[in-house]
Amino acid sequence: MTAVRGQSGSNAVDGATKLGVDGLSQQAGGIGVRGQGGDVGVKGIGITTGTAVLGTSTGGVGVFGASENTGVGGNSAGGIGVFGATVSGTAGLFSGPVVVQGDFTVTGAKSAAVPLPGGRLGRTYAMECPDSWLADFGEGQPTAGFRRVPIDPKFASTVDLSGQYHVIITPLAEAILYVTNRTSDSFDVRAVPFGDGDDKHPHPEPIRFTWWVIGRRKDIKRPRFEEVKIPPPPKLP
């Protein structure tokens, strides 16, 4: 059964009172308001602090959008494009890849749900820094106490290696290793010989080590502990 149906070359249904258009369907699978148009199917305009489109449901979906292009879109000139809130559930749920064009800021923890034995999921947290860093990892082995480690050109193109960057090495055997000659293309790892005075002798081979290279991102220039202002949530009807 259809509560209100309008078909016209211009405005199918036009409401201009306190409640412009109200559609209610009490039948399972029914539709309260349905709009279909070559441009805009249903358009709501809220004046001042009014609500343009309001959808409520006690057990289903309040507002649903389906499209071959964009299912639901939100746009704001200076406020919040899309807002979701919940008391005890999940404010937003995405099933599929998510892309953020711009900064991504959370006031809670950024975590990943990883599979655990028994089919369970466990929460792991992201490491946070006051600066924007990128890191690369690898493993090497010196020959005659020396190893030049090349830096991946793709990684080098994303970080600033012209100045100071960090290299952390961990020997996988009893050894004393140090880093020298850091350039934008490579760094050197040297082994300190065992012994004192004339009794010095090189480490027995092989001595493998792991390394981290950590550099600041080239495309993000932000101050440390940049002040963040979180916009207040909008008032919901």
For residue 143, list its beta bridge partners.
146
pLDDT at position 7: 56
Residue 167 makes CB contacts below 8 A (sequence gap 6+) with 179, 182, 187, 211, 212, 213, 214
Q: What is the pLDDT of residue 169?
A: 96
Write down the pLDDT at residue 1.
56
Give the pLDDT confidence score for residue 115 in this predicted structure. Answer: 97
> Which residues are within 8 A (CB) of 203 and not within 5 positions of it... i.e. 6 or more apart?
145, 173, 174, 175, 191, 193, 194
Residue 87 burial (C-beta neighbours within 10 Å; 0-12, 13-18, 19+): exposed
> HEC string of the chain?
CCCCCCCCCCCCCCCCCCCCCCCCCCCCCCCCCCCCCCCCCCCCCCCCCCCCCCCCCCCCCCCCCCCCCCCCCCCCCCCCCCCCCCCCCCCCCCCCCCCCCCCCCCCCCCEEEEEECCCEEEEEECCCCCCCEEEEEEEECCECCEEEEECCHHHHCCECCCCCCEEEEEECCCCCEEEECCCCCEEEEEECCECCHHHCECCCCCCCEEEEEEEEECCCCCCCCCCCCCCCCCCCC
Return the pLDDT at 135: 96
Q: What pLDDT does residue 205 have?
A: 65
Q: Which one, of 89, 114, 110, lies nearest residue 98 by Cα?
A: 110
Q: How far apart are CA 39 and CA 11, in angstroms?
A: 12
What are the 10-residue block averages of pLDDT along the chain, 237 residues in total? 55 58 68 69 70 75 80 82 84 88 90 96 94 95 92 96 91 91 95 67 75 94 91 80
- Answer whether the bond into residue 206 is a cis peptide, omega within 30°: yes
pLDDT of residue 55: 75
- Model pTM greater than 0.85? no
Which residue segments constitute the domains of the chain, with CATH numbers given?
1-78 (no CATH), 133-216 (2.60.40)
Give 233's contacts (C-beta < 8 A, 6+ positions apart): 80, 83, 85
